[in-house]
């Protein structure tokens, strides 16, 4: 009891967060902690822009290929790269130290949110650029909706990683779910329809020709699922059980 | 060597003791069991079962194993392992050790799945079949795993960051695996096979598969040799001095691996080019009209022991001066040696050819094909391989494919077991067998191969594949039942014996040798589609296949067969009359309800459980009166066809079964290429009604 109280006291040491500090922190978390995410975003942007500008494609092919990348592969790539936001502390044996400065739940959430904030900005700029080059190529709302599948797979990976205290287990679980959902997508689409289909943006342009009306329900459903996954993960980290478990291993 | 083995064992232990790796093993096992439930095992074959499991395991394993292998591969490159790198031996063996342990570790992790499926295979298919399916595991799973390990080793060394390397490789492999499945594509390291047959294994895909697998054994070897060259640059080791011998040996190995990759890759692409030809519909149309000008058409064919055409000669006598040079539809794998035209009356044409018969992809594809291609049925008309040889009278094994030969002489090694032949004369000369046909009337000329088992049942002969499963027995029983019933009603023959031969690749049944032999498709996309969920509908399909074989025994009616079995997408069952076609333009397809009603009668008579003809006909009546919005039917009809169906039902109710079968026989006499006009059918119904009741019914 005394030990946990003292831990709480340490965790309560909070600094005042002004704008300047926040920007510095964000810069550090994005550019220093997650450089691979930026590389992945740059590569995705290059491929998407190439597909937008390549002259040999029909407009429908262009839409299909770009959404295939941004709607199917991009989420798993982002999930892979954001999953080790906190787990790297464990693998670098710095979790106990970090824990003395900041709540692990807060740190994890901050890194995840900053990562997704970066992705959101990237997606907005990319879609705006693509729509500028070919007007009406994609609905602007896709800048937000495309984040949902990425968040969903990140949520799965983060939860399993937090439960198992292993980045690899989380990655395997997330990749496995993605594999199942992707390779069985025709059956899933037939069984559950567009409202529960995880790669809906792709399904709009693929042979399923999903109705755009399904977008709001689909995104609402997956957003709630994501929030649930993230909330559970946050609670797991928040209680700082990880530190005790890390130290046991 | 001793140190290497000790290191290998130590690394393997490290790999196996990592609990995370066993999560992968568990996932593979779960996926294998979920996608191939034990309850469905009796309905498949050992080959089909193992192929399916190995393929699904490969798909899942290749992507997930990337994470595990890279983690293992780059484990010692992280901080804290400097003491290991200070020793030269560790750095020298690092790559080979890791790749070797990767393969051994993968095999260890999938061993629970392999063991369980082996036990299940033994239980359901017998030890012999289970053992023979082991090579399927090896051939399907080992090359992609070697490729993944080779690729991961190279990319892992280059990037030297587990997460980024995983991301790059997973995205690449995901793209490749998601591409349309095609064996001939060099990027596809995990092919999905469309053909697996108890009689001919992977059949037309075997050769492609072997080239593809050899290519994917050589490519990882090349990747690993490249990785060896960059080891010194990328690993945190003390740079040693390499002997020239070692460097030269590695260079030779690298060049050899590259050369072999190019060799197998080019062989694969060449075969793919032959395999991906599409039927030349225009030439087919031209040839059909040209056949009428043939005064005589003689064929002389010599087969070698492995099924290749050692020499083929086609001799044509033509009444008109039609140019036949562009009308040959010879298979893409066969090469023309000589084409000679001798003027005179009649004009004589000789075409000599040889080569290996390649079954084109469209002929056995399980995916929906355009109507024009589906309608031509099994156009190649032959399968020539050492396991099985069969020849249909019309096929791409002779140049004027659609013209019926007047005389065929076939010479083949005498030691090839003949299962069935419709030859007029047969003789053995030394170690060669000579078969001759004069004006062959049967569709199937020859079935030869050592793999059939023949089961005698009273007067009947049933041909079985080497490992007949429950499904095959059920199928044969169904075919046998409907064959007997059909003969009883239509040929007025009861209790006589017959021969039932399942044949791979063909798309519809043939009734041969004075209707005593029924040759059925070993696997039929059209018929197996609904198996095993609904026995009544399955029986309807089998009965239709048997009835169609009888109906089309003297005249080819591919259009009718297509009308009944057009299941390209698995959703659209209907005879594809253009949706926009007006009523006046609509084709008269009255044969469909006539055949279907006859099928319903046969199924009812065979007492198939769950089948209720009256209820079904009530549903059709409701459909016609718009009381039912939709009705599932294996053969969905136009409203006019439903009308005809109801009319036939009323006729049957009123005048009895015997009158219906008389009507059916009379309709057959009036049919043209399998089709009968509705007016003619109505006329027949009127005539028969009068004869049966003795009352005038019409003006």
- Nearest C-alpha of chain B: how many angstroms from A80? 7
Mean pLDDT of the region B470-497: 83
- Pick B634 or B539 by higher pLDDT: B539
pLDDT band at A6 (very low <50, low <70, confident <90, very high): very low
Residue A165, pLDDT > 70, answer yes
pLDDT for the residue numbered B257: 95
| Interchain CB distance below 8 Å, B175 and A176 | no
CA angle A235, A236, A240 (to 5 degrees): 100
Cα B374 → chain centroid? 14
CATH 2.60.120 at B284-451, yes or no = no
Nearest residue to B261 (alpha-carbon basis) of B229, B216, B227: B216
> At residue B480, does pLDDT exceed 70?
yes
CA–CA min distance A157, chain B (Å): 13
pLDDT at B527 over 70: no
B174 interaction partners in chain A (CB closer than 8 Å)? 73, 76, 182
- Residues of A within 8 A of B163 (CB-CB) are 36, 80-81, 84
All residues of chain B having their beta carbon less than 8 Å from the beta carbon of residue A84 are 163
Residues of B in contact with A77 (CB under 8 A): 167, 171
pLDDT reading at B435 higher than 90: yes
Range in A125-139, B119-133, B381-395, B626-640 with the lowest mean pLDDT: B626-640
Over residues B397-424, the mean pLDDT reads 92
B20 → closest Cβ in A80, A81, A169: A169
From residue A33, how far is each of A20, A185, B385 by CA, in Å? 19, 34, 61
Chain A residues touching B60 at Cβ < 8 A:
176, 179
- Domain residue ranges of chain B, discontinuous segments joined by +: 2-275, 284-451, 454-693
Lookup result for tokens 């009319």: B647
Nearest residue on chain A to B66, alpha-carbon basis: A172
Cβ-contact B329, B402 below 8 angstroms: yes
Under CATH, which number does the domain B454-693 receive?
1.10.390
Q: Provide the percentage of residues in chain B whose pLDDT is more than 90.
A: 30
What pLDDT score does B107 carry?
Answer: 93
The most confident of the ranges A149-153, B384-388, B616-620 is A149-153
pLDDT exceeds cutoff 90 at B171 = no
Residue-wise pLDDT for B74-126, tens only, equals 888 777 677 777 776 677 788 888 999 999 999 999 999 999 999 998 888 88
A38 to chain B, any CB pair closer than 8 A? The answer is no
The average pLDDT across B50-60 equals: 86
Query: What's the confidence (pLDDT) of residue B164?
Result: 84
Burial class of residue B244 (count of CB atoms within 10 Å of its CB; 0-12, 13-18, 19+): exposed
Residue A9's pLDDT is: 46
> Could you read off the pLDDT of A38-48 as tens digits, one per residue?
888 888 889 88
Q: Do A172 and B171 touch (CB under 8 A)?
A: no
How far apart, in whole angstroms, are the C-alpha atoms of residue B313 and residue B398? 8
Tokens linked to A236? 């797991």
Please tell me the predicted confidence (pLDDT) of residue B699: 37
What the block records as the tokens of B515 is: 């209707």
Three-class DSSP category at B303:
strand
Of A80, A176, A182, the CB nearest to B167: A80
Nearest to B234 by CA among B150, B155, B146: B155
- Which residues, 6+ apart, have CB-to-CB distance to B465 below 8 Å? B45, B197, B198, B199, B451, B452, B453, B472, B502, B522
* Residue B511: band (very low, low, confident or very high) from pLDDT cuts 50, 70, 90: confident
Best of B24, B67, B165, B569 to mutate (most A CBs within 10 Å, chain A): B67
Of the pLDDT bands very low, low, confident and very high (cuts 50, 70, 90), residue B599 is very high
Give the orientation angle of helix B657-670 with respect to helix B639-655, to 10 degrees: 130
Strand B517-521 and strand B499-503: the pairing is parallel
Q: For position A228, what pLDDT does the model report?
A: 94
The rounded mean pLDDT for chain B is 84
- Split at pLDDT 50, 70, 90, the class of B579 is very low
Indicate the DSSP class of residue B362.
Answer: G
Is a pLDDT exceeding 80 seen at residue B568? Answer: no
As a whole-number percent, the residues of chain B with pLDDT over 70 amount to 90
Q: Which residues contact B384 (CB under 8 A, 6 or more apart)?
A: B303, B307, B308, B309, B356, B357, B397
Q: Burial of A28 by CB count in 10 Å (0-12 exposed, 13-18 middle, 19+ buried)? A: exposed
Q: Report pLDDT for A207.
A: 74
Band the pLDDT of B242: cuts 50, 70, 90. confident
What is the number of CB-based contacts under 8 A between chain A and chain B?
A: 56
Touching B: A residues 55-84, CB under 8 Å: 73, 76-77, 80-81, 84
Contact of B463 with B454, CB cutoff 8 Å: yes
> What's the pLDDT at B254?
93
Task: Please state, in angstroms and as integers, the Cα–Cα distance from residue B536 to each residue in B490, B530, B603, B635, following that order.
Answer: 22, 10, 8, 13
């Amino acid at each position: 009891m005394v030990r946990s109280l003292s831990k709480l006291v340490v965790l309560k040491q909070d600094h005042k967060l002004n704008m300047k500090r926040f920007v510095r922190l964000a810069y550090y978390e994005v550019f220093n902690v997650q450089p691979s995410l930026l590389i992945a975003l740059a590569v995705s942007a290059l491929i998407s822009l190439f597909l937008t500008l390549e002259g040999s494609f029909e407009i429908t092919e262009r839409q299909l290929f770009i959404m295939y990348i941004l709607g199917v592969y991009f989420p798993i790539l982002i999930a892979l790269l954001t999953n080790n936001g906190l787990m790297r502390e464990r693998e670098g044996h710095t979790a106990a130290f970090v824990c003395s400065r900041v709540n692990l739940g807060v740190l994890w959430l901050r890194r995840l949110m900053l990562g997704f904030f970066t992705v959101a900005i990237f997606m907005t700029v990319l879609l705006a650029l693509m729509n500028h080059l070919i007007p009406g190529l994609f609905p602007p709302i896709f800048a937000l909706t495309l984040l949902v599948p990425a968040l969903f797979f990140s949520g799965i990976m983060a939860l399993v990683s937090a439960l198992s205290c292993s980045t690899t287990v989380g990655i395997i679980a997330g990749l496995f779910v993605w594999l199942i959902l992707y390779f069985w997508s025709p059956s899933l689409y037939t069984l559950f329809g567009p409202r529960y289909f995880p790669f809906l943006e792709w399904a709009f342009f693929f042979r399923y020709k999903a109705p755009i009306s399904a977008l709001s329900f689909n995104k609402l459903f997956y957003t709630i699922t994501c929030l649930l996954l993230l909330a559970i993960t946050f609670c797991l980290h928040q209680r700082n059980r990880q530190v005790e478990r890390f130290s046991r291993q | 060597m001793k140190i290497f083995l000790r290191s290998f064992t130590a690394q393997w232990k490290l790999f196996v003791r990592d609990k995370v790796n066993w999560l992968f093993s568990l996932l593979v096992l779960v996926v294998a069991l979920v996608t191939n439930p034990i309850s469905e095992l009796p309905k498949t074959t050992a080959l089909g079962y193992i192929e399916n499991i190995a393929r699904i395991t490969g798909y899942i394993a290749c992507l997930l194993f990337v994470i595990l292998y890279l983690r293992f591969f780059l484990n010692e490159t992280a901080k804290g392992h400097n003491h290991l790198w200070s020793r030269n031996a560790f750095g020298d063996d690092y790559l080979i050790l890791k790749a070797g342990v990767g393969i051994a570790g993968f095999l260890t992790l999938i061993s629970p799945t392999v063991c369980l499926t082996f036990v299940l295979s033994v239980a359901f298919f017998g030890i012999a079949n289970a053992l023979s399916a082991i090579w399927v595991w090896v051939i399907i799973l080992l090359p992609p795993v070697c490729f993944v390990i080779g690729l991961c080793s190279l990319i892992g060394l280059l990037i030297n960051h587990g997460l980024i390397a995983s991301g790059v490789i997973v995205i690449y492999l995901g793209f490749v695996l998601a591409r349309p499945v095609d064996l001939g594509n060099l990027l596809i390291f995990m092919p999905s096979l469309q053909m697996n047959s108890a009689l001919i294994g992977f059949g037309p895909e075997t050769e492609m598969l072997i080239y593809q697998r050899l290519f994917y054994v050589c490519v990882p070897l090349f990747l690993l040799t490249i990785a060896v060259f960059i080891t010194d640059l990328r690993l945190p080791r003390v740079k040693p001095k390499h002997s020239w011998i070692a460097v030269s040996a590695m260079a030779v190995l690298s060049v050899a691996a590259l050369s072999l990759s190019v060799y197998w890759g080019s062989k694969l692409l060449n075969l793919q080019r032959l395999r991906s030809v599409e039927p030349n519909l225009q030439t087919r149309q031209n040839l059909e009209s040209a056949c009428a000008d043939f005064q005589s058409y003689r064929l002389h064919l010599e087969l070698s022991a492995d099924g290749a055409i050692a020499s083929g000669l086609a001799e044509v006598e033509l009444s008109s001066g039609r140019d036949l040079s562009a009308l040959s539809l010879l298979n893409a794998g066969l090469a023309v040696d000589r084409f000679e035209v001798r003027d005179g009356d009649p004009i004589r044409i000789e075409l000599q050819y040889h080569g290996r018969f390649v079954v084109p992809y469209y002929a056995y594809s399980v995916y929906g094909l355009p109507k024009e291609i589906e309608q031509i049925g099994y156009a190649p008309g032959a399968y020539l391989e050492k396991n099985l040889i069969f020849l249909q009278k019309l096929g791409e094994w002779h140049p004027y494919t659609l013209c019926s030969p007047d005389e065929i002489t076939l010479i083949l090694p005498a030691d090839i077991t003949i299962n069935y032949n419709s030859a007029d004369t047969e003789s053995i000369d030394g170690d060669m067998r000579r078969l001759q046909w004069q004006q062959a009337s049967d569709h199937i000329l020859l079935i030869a191969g050592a793999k059939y088992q023949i089961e005698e049942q009273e007067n009947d002969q049933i041909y079985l594949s080497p490992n007949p499963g429950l499904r095959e027995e059920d199928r044969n029983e169904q075919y046998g039942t409907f064959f007997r019933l059909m003969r009883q009603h239509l040929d007025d023959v009861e209790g006589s014996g017959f021969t039932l031969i399942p044949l791979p690749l063909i798309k519809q049944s043939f009734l041969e040798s004075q209707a005593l032999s029924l040759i059925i498709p070993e696997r039929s996309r059209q018929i197996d589609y609904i198996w095993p969920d609904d026995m009544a509908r399955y029986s309807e399909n089998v009965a239709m296949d048997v009835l169609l074989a009888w109906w089309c025994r003297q005249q080819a009616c591919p259009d009718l067969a297509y009308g009944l079995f057009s299941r390209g997408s698995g959703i659209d069952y209907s005879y594809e009359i253009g949706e926009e076609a007006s009523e006046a333009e609509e084709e008269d397809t009255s044969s469909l309800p006539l055949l279907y009603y006859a099928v319903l009668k046969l199924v009812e008579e065979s007492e198939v459980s769950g089948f209720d003809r009256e209820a079904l006909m009530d549903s059709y009546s409701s459909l016609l009166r718009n009381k039912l919005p939709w009705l599932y039917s294996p053969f969905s009809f136009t409203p006019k066809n439903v009308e005809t169906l109801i009319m036939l039902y009323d006729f049957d109710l009123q005048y009895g079964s015997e009158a219906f079968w008389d009507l059916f026989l009379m309709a057959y006499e009036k049919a043209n290429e399998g089709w009968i006009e509705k007016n003619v059918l109505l006329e027949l119904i009127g005539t028969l009604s009068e004869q049966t009741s003795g009352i005038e019914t019409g003006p």
